[in-house]
Structure 1
Amino acid sequence: MTLPLIPPMLATPGTLPPAAQDARWAYETKQDGQRAVAYLPGDGSLVLRARSGEDITAAYPELLALGGALGGTPAVLDGEILALDAQGRADFQLLQGRMGLAHAPARAARRAAQVPVHLVLFDVMHLGGRSLVPLAYTRRRARLEELGLEGPYWSTPAAVVGHGARALAATREHGLEGLVCKRLDSVYEPGVRSRAWIKIRNMRSEDVLVGGWLPGRGRLTGLPGALLVGQRAAGRLRYVGSVGTGWSEAERAALAGLLRALATDVCPFDPRPAVSGAHWVLPRLVGEVRYSVRTRAGMLRQPSWLRLRPDLAPEDAAADLPTWTDGTDGAGKGG
């Protein structure tokens, strides 16, 4: 059977629905993985497509058995591909070693044996030759759960109706990425970033030292487009990522003046990060950044600028980590 191509519905960043509307929403754990739409034609085969529409099936050979999980019933399912750490939590760094191998099946098979993935399913958009896109979330969710899709490399975690504040608190307590709030009466909107789905990311904040910057482009010409930041550990300033968001225009202009006053030809980071086009500064500016998680190399993932910390001395921006890697793994990939 030829199945319709359905781009995934996207969530809008936001906050918890008002308490008075809490019972009108379902809450699902936000997972830190790769979004994937699974196409099961009903002949035992499977096609996985990324958010971009790219066929990524060959990158995840352990998921191929899902193609026969519904017998001859064709289906289109929405989910997230995860790589789990020793505590059973999604680890995007682990997953990165699996992504991008769709055109290297032999390497993908070797990596699958070392770092197997898990597909979390949370929606069904087409089933048995019928489109479920016009149905309310509650009806789609009920049909999905009736399918009983629980296997060695895939599952259908439960959603919670109401109790949003408690659900969000639970994700924070367990170190999970966040929460997705889904309105119970919402239809599936293919390819749309909808207010009917709201994502809340649990973020952390830490103090960092500014050690350099990258020039902006276009209307930001002459201003910093991103700051290169680090933290002190074992007597060295270790690079932890680049921060390119979080400023107003006035704040960016003020930072430009401070950076010019601290300019130096010497890179303050040890080891030197592999960042091209960097302008180095004396590491005297302390700032606070918000981020989602640290990578295994100590890098800050998805950092954004919060504020300057003139009340703190440079030595206060120390890394709260037991150990650091000696390489520059991840250098230049933050922000």
Structure 2
Amino acid sequence: MTLPLIPPMLATAGSLPPASQDARWAYETKQDGQRVVAYLEGDGSVLLRARSGEDITAAYPELQPLGTALGTTPAVLDGEVLALDEQGRADFQLLQSRMGLAHSPDKAARQAAKVAVHLVLFDVMHLAGQDLLAHAYARRRGMLEQLGLDGPFWSTPAALVGNGEHALQATREHGLEGLVCKRLDSAYKPGVRSRAWIKIRNMHSEDVLVGGWVPGKGRLSGLPGAVLVGQRAAGRLRYVGNVGTGWSEAERTQLAALLQAAATDVCPFDPAPQVTAAHWVVPRLVGEVRYSTRTRAGLLRQPSWLRLRPDLAPEDASADLPPDLT
């Protein structure tokens, strides 16, 4: 490869910039996919590298034509590979069926026929032999948009300058993962997690019932490493995931005592989850958890513990789950 290897710049978790600085920032939809850097040599080829630097080109054969999109102009582009659901929203669970197939091109081709991906592009770091890393985001973004990279499996979604509060609210109303705020004057810092890019994830919270736990390791030996949680639907306690973060040391110790007191040999979930080394408890502890989205099967993605809810009865931890779970 003749193009420079450029690790992707990373965003820092945070909140919206102050209203007084709003006009100095651009806002892009945070996508729930796989980060990629695309290398177009200008000879019709395309090379896709994951955030880890791994060559994942063969996993996404439908993106091969991108190599001809700029003719003989070489470029290095930053973007995210998505799998879209029926509503056109990124669905990470769908994408998982396409990931990890870089060394199985035949299987990747079969999966591509079932679940096509879409590459959204949001930055250009090298173009026509010119290094753009030191240029301001606003200039790079303008150059990217002028390339007109909109094809059957790739696009360049618009970025909104200013109106961050409106942009964030729009992502919430449309059930999107969140927002990325990018300072207009920011340079591209390869491999750096920068405060010039701020990511805001839209999180949800719900009440769940604790139906089991798995032991921690190391310094957490004897304490719960994670709790197994569920929600009632159609008269049954349906497993919705495991939660292993969000406690202080004191809260974890308190929870351990409550779990020991509620121990049972009977799995309360229907159907029983396939969890190794699970300890079951009578499902009477209600907790509140925060999570990003649900999978198509109703499981909580990226859950973290918020608090116990002793003010709620077990029957309060119910939910409208997908039909295949009820």
Where on the TM-score scale, by shorter chain, does this alignment land: which range?
over 0.9
**Residue 121 of structure 2 is aligned to residue 121 of structure 1:** yes
Question: After alignment, is 217-226 or 45-54 more displaced?
Answer: 217-226
Cα offsets for 1:184-204 (capped at 9, x unmatched): 111111111111111001111
Indicate the residue corresponding to 1:196 in structure 2: 196
Over aligned residues, Cα RMSD in angstroms? 1.1
Indicate the residue corresponding to 2:314 in structure 1: 314
Indicate the residue corresponding to 2:301 in structure 1: 301
For the 8 Å contact 1:83–1:94, the answer to whether it is kept is yes
Indicate the residue corresponding to 2:131 in structure 1: 131
1:322, distance to aligned residue in structure 2 (A): 4.9
For the 8 Å contact 2:22–2:164, the answer to whether it is kept is yes
Supply the AA of the counterpart residue of 1:88.
Answer: G
Cα offsets for 1:153-196 (capped at 9, x unmatched): 00001101110000000000111110000011111111111111
For the 8 Å contact 1:294–1:300, the answer to whether it is kept is yes
Question: How far apart are the structure 2 equivalents of 1:238 and 1:193?
Answer: 38
Q: Percent identical across equivalent pairs?
A: 81
Q: How many residues align?
A: 326
1:1-335 paired onto structure 2 within 5 Å: 2-325=2-325
For the 8 Å contact 1:209–1:284, the answer to whether it is kept is yes
Structure 1, unaligned runs of 5 or more: 327-335
Supply the AA of the counterpart residue of 2:252.
Answer: R
Supply the AA of the counterpart residue of 2:99.
Answer: M
1:245, distance to aligned residue in structure 2 (A): 1.0
For the 8 Å contact 1:285–1:314, the answer to whether it is kept is yes
Q: Secondary structure at the match of 1:297?
A: coil
Supply the AA of the counterpart residue of 1:246.
Answer: G
For the 8 Å contact 2:289–2:305, the answer to whether it is kept is yes
1:325, distance to aligned residue in structure 2 (A): 3.5
Question: How far apart are the structure 2 equivalents of 1:24 and 1:279?
Answer: 52
Question: How far apart are the structure 1 equivalents of 2:322 and 2:294?
Answer: 13
Supply the AA of the counterpart residue of 2:48.
Answer: L
Q: Secondary structure at the match of 2:323?
A: coil
Question: How far apart are the structure 2 equivalents of 1:283 and 1:26?
Answer: 46
Question: How far apart are the structure 2 equivalents of 1:182 and 1:42?
Answer: 29
Supply the AA of the counterpart residue of 2:222.
Answer: G
Question: How far apart are the structure 1 equivalents of 2:265 and 2:256?
Answer: 17
For the 8 Å contact 1:267–1:280, the answer to whether it is kept is yes
For the 8 Å contact 1:40–1:75, the answer to whether it is kept is yes
Question: How far apart are the structure 2 equivalents of 1:198 and 1:18?
Answer: 12
Question: How far apart are the structure 1 equivalents of 2:192 and 2:216?
Answer: 30
Q: Secondary structure at the match of 1:95?
A: helix
For the 8 Å contact 2:241–2:299, the answer to whether it is kept is yes
For the 8 Å contact 2:298–2:322, the answer to whether it is kept is no
For the 8 Å contact 1:298–1:324, the answer to whether it is kept is no
Q: Secondary structure at the match of 1:175?
A: coil
1:17, distance to aligned residue in structure 2 (A): 0.7
Q: Secondary structure at the match of 2:222?
A: coil
Indicate the residue corresponding to 1:329 in structure 2: none
TM-score by length of structure 2 reads 0.98
Question: How far apart are the structure 2 equivalents of 1:263 and 1:286?
Answer: 15
1:149, distance to aligned residue in structure 2 (A): 0.5
Q: Secondary structure at the match of 1:253?
A: helix
Supply the AA of the counterpart residue of 2:265.
Answer: D
For the 8 Å contact 2:238–2:325, the answer to whether it is kept is no
1:218, distance to aligned residue in structure 2 (A): 2.1
Q: Secondary structure at the match of 1:55?
A: coil
